[in-house]
Amino acid sequence: MALEALRGDKTIQEIAVRHKVHPNQVTMWKQRAVEGMKEVFTKGAERATGDHVGEIRDLHAKIGELTVKRDFLAKGLKW
């Protein structure tokens, strides 16, 4: 319903009648959708960068762990 209201093809009243809700509810959902979109495009980009940093750190740790295991096993096979 919020997307319908954002599109602007129909009035808030038409959307409310069609879905059997109060027009104020549609207006509130529309406002929340707009606020949510702002967050996606601002904080979402910041979160994505933060996620990548954490993922890279985890991958480096895994590479180190696998290198240690490989070296240990290589020494064991040289017996």
Distances (CA, A) of 6 to 21, 29, 49: 17, 10, 29
* End-to-end CA separation in angstroms for the chain: 70
Can you give the pLDDT at residue 42? 73
* Residue 30 · residue 6 · CB < 8 Å: yes
Can you give the pLDDT at residue 45? 61
pLDDT at 49 over 70: no
Q: Taking the model in full, what pTM does it have?
A: 0.50
Q: What is the rounded average pLDDT of the residues 1-27?
A: 90
In this structure, what DSSP letter does residue 22 have?
A: -
CA nearest to 2, candidates 28, 22, 30: 30
The span from the CA of 2 to the CA of 26, in Å, is 6
Q: What is the rounded average pLDDT of the residues 29-58?
A: 78
